[in-house]
Structure 1
Amino acid sequence: MQETLHDAELYRRKSTPLYLTPKFYYFCHFAAMAALVPFLALYYRQLGLGEQTIGLLTGLPPLLTLVVAPLWGALADATQRHQRLLQIALGGLFLTVLLFSLVRNPIWLLPLVLLYALFNAPIIPLVDNTVLALLGERQAIYGRLRLWGALGWGVAGTVAGLLIERFGLTWSFYSALLFLVGCLVATLKFQVQPAQIGQPFWQGIRFFITNRAWLVFLITLFINGVAAGVGNNFLFLYLDELAASEVLMGATLLVATASEIPIFFFGDRLLNRLGARGLLLLSLSATVVRMAGYALMSAAWVALPINLLHGLTFSAMWVAGVSYANRAAPPGMGATAQGVLSGVSMGIAGATGAVIGGYLYESVGPAATFGWAGVAVAGGLIFFALVGQRARDIQSTVSR
């Protein structure tokens, strides 16, 4: 308790630029994503693509994340060149976005989407690993730095929307490129002495494949991520059926983004009080309530108070997941752990949620779709709680 309070006090003093670079990076990165990702489908449609093709192009990156992110992380841990690989990934992403802005023939979109997935997938896992290394023993305050990503998303999403409405969709790419330059500048300030691998590299890789507690953790995050994929892909369709206006839909995003900030800010206290496992259980419980709320709502405006739970369902999950993965990882393999975390929760889980959600939405309707998503997460909650002691003892299974 005293150690965490001391960490928070060090954060409040902010007498060193240690915290400024991560905050600036997270702001710029998620600002770039807010300016780019929500508008890609509109850009594809503007180039004359049909709905099925658009679905394929938007679904490929999260699927590829499952493979790409862990591979980059493993390469970074094996070579101990985390900063250089991060800069290569950012440079590749910058060039890919620039090429996107120049495309007029749809035939080039598939290779560009593949390049986008290749370079974008490892960035946040590498950055999270770097930030945790920078914080050292003060890792509990990670959320206070990560919240700047939520601020960047909210600010840039609004500004990019105004620019696109006035000047056209290409300004989505120009805005993203500007913020990516900020990301590249920030990486020049990331000076971290990488942790040495404490065991043979392939023995560490074996841990990620065979450790029972780690696999329980990943299965739980996968189930939660599937439900998140359902929400991310089908909530607006559901709201449209409930006659929601575009303004109301935008307001639900604003409420969700705003709800992230206090959870990230107080993440250190939540981790201190509940631990990573307890915080993950809280997040799963909130997801069950959120999915049930969507299933039961009869008017579109009800989504506004429901989306206040987004901070618990996403931010709490991410703070807990990053902390859990970092503590579980064998020494010197933090980037690999963060890559696997991202690949499962943001990659294959989101894509699975989109596929299963689409089938259920068409078969049983939106309310039942969200209801079944809630049931699945409730099952994941029970599963994680029942094996919780074994998962809690994960550190004892790793030689440090």
Structure 2
Amino acid sequence: MRKTWPFTFYFLFFAGVAFLAPFIVLYYQSLGFTGTQIGLLAGLTPLITLFGTLLWTGLADATRRHRLIMSLALLVGVAALSLFPFLKAFAPVMLITILLNMFFAPVSSFADSATMFMLVDKKEMYGRVRLGGTFGFGLAAPIAGRLVQDYGLKLAFWGGAALMFLAFVVSPKLVYRPSKAGAATGGSVLTLLTNRRWVFFLAVAFAGGLTLAVTNNYLFPYLKELGANETTMGLALAIGTIGEIPVLFFGNQLIQRLKPYGLLMLAMVVSGIRLLLFAASSTPNLVMLLQLFAGLTFPAMWVAGVSYADDNAPAGMGATAQGLFGAMVFGFGMAMGGFLGGLLLANLGGQGMYLVVGVIVLAIVALSWLGERLLAERPAAPHNV
């Protein structure tokens, strides 16, 4: 059952995400919120994710109460989702948005930490287990769209809440690495941030967040610049999702052949080059062709990053390590990518945006690789993590 329960959890959790994520901005628009208000709500999400992930994963490692904190986070999130459709004014919607993201922020990191422990000596199989999330999202998205079309946006929240509740029911089946009392302290994150190898790793994770932000947030506006219609945009998204499946399924072989660090660097080099090729594309068809390589970007980076964080986490800090990695990608990286991408899109257009961010990503990867190489040539220090 070491694969079945995590696979099931990912399936249910990301099926719930599929109900909520595509419709949240539409709900804000239906309430008549201004562009500034919607931008504020959207901008809060990665920042809250950054804070919430580090807070809850650090607390779980310090208290050894991973299962309890995971369950409470899911329950509070379910309650917030259930209440969402009843709120119409901006202030209460902002408060419930903060609450929702604060408690859902660490869930994926907890699941990743438990999954890596449950896989024992088969950690390279993480990608296949994580496929549960891809399947859940892919199957739930069209169902959510039809329900919302027939019954209104409230079904996005209530359907998501129902699936998240089922994820809560499954979550006690996840098993976490036991740790000795006192193994983790309030300074856990600082322990990682003062380790040079972790600093280089987190720099690459930050570049991954930049890439994710400019593709998730601004690919459709760029396709519109190139003359694509909504059907083409949806097809581009579907192609990207399909492209993830082979990489996740064969992720174990990639990990075995390249090791986590090698796969991480390969994924980020491909990500940077893909952004440059986006910038060079003159038609939507070329962009869709590049979407075939989506699996070698974020999915490969995520599989490699989770494996690397697990391999290099100090004793008793498994959840903190996964939380810091996730916070750097979905928190700091995506926040900066969203801000920078929006600024560049407004001033340089889609091609200019992807060109600049592609160069930045490749520069970060090159400098991190160089720093890691220089560090590897030095004698290992006794306190290395």
1:249-292 residue CA offsets vs partner (Å, 9 max, x unmatched): 11111111111111111111111100111101110111122101
Cα RMSD for the two superposed structures: 2.0
Partner of residue 89 from structure 2, selected from 80, 94, 105: 105
The 8 Å contact of residues 62 and 182 in structure 2, kept in 1 or not, is answered as no
- Contact 2:75 2:165 (C-alpha < 8 Å) held by counterparts: no
Post-superposition offset of 1:104 = 2.9
| Equivalent residue in structure 2 for 1:44, among 14, 28, 31 | 28
* Structure 1 counterpart of 2:281, from 297, 300, 305: 297
Kindly provide the amino acid, as one letter, of the partner of residue 283 in structure 1.
A
Shift of 1:181: 1.9
Q: Which moved more, 1:330-339 or 1:59-68?
A: 59-68
Name the counterpart of 2:45.
61
Q: 1:203: how far off?
A: 6.1
Question: Partner residue of 1:312?
Answer: 296
Contact 1:61 1:114 in 2 (8 A): yes
For residue 187 of structure 1, give the secondary structure of its aligned residue in structure 2.
helix
* % identical equivalent positions: 36
Q: Which residue in the other structure is 1:95 paired with?
A: 79
Name which of 289, 314, 334 aligns with 1:330. 314
- TM-superposed CA distance for 1:208, in Å, is 1.4
Matched, 1:228 2:216: no
Q: Provide the residue aligned with 1:3 in structure 2.
A: none
Q: 1:241 aligns with which of 215, 218, 225?
A: 225
After TM superposition, the structure 1 stretch with the greater mean CA deviation from structure 2, 173-182 or 142-151, is 173-182
What is the deviation of 1:223? 2.0
Q: Which residue does 2:131 correspond to in 1?
A: 147
When residues 398 and 198 of structure 1 are mapped into structure 2, their CA distance, relative to the original with a 3 A threshold, is farther
- Cα deviation, 1:110-156, whole Å, max 9, x if unaligned, reads 10011012111111011111111111222111111001101111111
Deviation at 1:236, TM superposition (A): 0.7
Greater mean deviation of Cα atoms: 240-249 or 101-110: 101-110
Supply the distance in 2 between the matched residues of 1:71 and 1:200 (Cα, whole angstroms): 13
Cα distance, 1:196 vs structure 2: 2.9
Q: Which residue of 2 aligns with 1:122?
A: 106
Render the CA deviation track for 1:46-104: whole Å, top value 9, x for unaligned.
00101111111011111121121011111000111101110000001000100112223
User: CA separation in 2, counterparts of 1:325 and 1:392?
Assistant: 18
1:342: which partner in 2?
326
Q: Distance in 2 between matches of 1:392 and 1:347?
A: 29
SS at match of 2:254: helix
Distance in 2 (CA, whole Å) between partners of 1:47 and 1:397 is 58
Amino acid at match of 2:185: F
Segments of structure 1 that go 5 or more residues without pairing to the other structure are 1-16
Q: 1:356 aligns with which of 313, 322, 340?
A: 340
**Offset, 1:188:** 2.7
**In 2, Cα distance between equivalents of 1:198 and 1:278:** 34
Counterpart residue type for residue 364 of structure 2: G
- The match for 2:178 is 194
CA deviation map 1:180-214 (0-9, x unaligned) = 12201111322445233685635644421211110
The Cα of 1:174 is off from its aligned counterpart by 2.0
Match of 1:158 among 131, 137, 142: 142
Structure 2 unaligned blocks of 5 or more: none
Kindly provide the amino acid, as one letter, of the partner of residue 281 in structure 1.
M
> Per the alignment, in what secondary structure is the counterpart of residue 297 of structure 2?
helix
Aligned length: 384
